[in-house]
Amino acid sequence: MYHHVNTAGSFITVGLRNFEKQMAFLKAYGYRTLNTADFSEILNNPNANAAKTVMITFDDGWADNWHYAYPILKKYDIKAVFFVVTSWIHNDGIRYFDTAFPSHKECKAIVSSGRAKEVVMSWDELREMEASGLIDVQSHTHTHKKLDGGSVYEDLSQSKGLIEERLGKKCEALCWPWGIYNDKHIDLALKSGYRLLFTTELGTNTSKSSPLKIKRIAIGDIGVMTFRKKLFIHSDDGLSKLYLRIFK
């Protein structure tokens, strides 16, 4: 689970050098990277070979994903899933930035002030990345607001519809904002047409995992050795559970 990739690293932002080293490691050691269709196939087939498989996910739709993360993903031929907040996505075309990107906190403030297009990707940028076959754009809801009351179904349906209309693809995966959801939300997501629901709950996934409660691991601005350690621990369901029981 990633959010930002840019020049300033933090828990939620991975620096360029560390991100490239992480992706280079995956390529060098023969990891297979998945989109949502690949992942669904593994979950639905208990005999599928899931050894050394990993899904790279990005939440929100920040512009640095296009400017910095995508070229690195393309360089190493690595697939990734971008969960985007569709009300933030705009029509400003394809852009090439020549200034430093704001911090995550500053990005959120810019979005709140109604200037999302300054820090969020455009539909044209998403469309170009989709066309590469590496990037799979899916939903992070329409508003990124706390889902409550009668507007949940409308929010989920609107996000799904926009992605399908604008990008000409199926949108069947949803990532909950802040990882907050309940059984009613799951029912409404299924009613909206989603089939894979991603959480912020920590852990690995197996062929026995529920497609409605998919776990992820936050990466952060870590070096390749720590990255390698995380991959080793969470590539084994039993070891992952034991580790999280001790250190969560």
The pLDDT of residue 141 is: 97
Identify the CA nearest to 196 among candidates 247, 153, 138, 149. 138
* Average of per-residue pLDDT values in the chain: 94
What range defines the domain where residue 23 resides?
Answer: 4-247
What is the arithmetic mean of pLDDT over 198-212?
Answer: 92
Q: How far apart are CA 148 and CA 56, in angstroms?
A: 29
**What is the radius of gyration, based on Cα positions, of the chain?**
17
Q: How far apart are CA 55 and CA 163, in angstroms?
A: 20
Q: What is the pTM of this model?
A: 0.96
Structurally, the chain folds into a number of domains equal to 1
Sorted by sequence, the CB contacts under 8 Å of residue 123 that are 6+ apart come out as: 89, 90, 91, 166, 167
Q: How confident is the model at residue 153 (pLDDT cuts 50, 70, 90)?
A: very high
Q: Which residue has the tokens 């620096």?
A: 15
The pLDDT of residue 100 is: 86
Which CATH number is 182's domain given? 3.20.20.370
Model confidence at 15: pLDDT above 80: yes
Model confidence at 148: pLDDT above 80: no
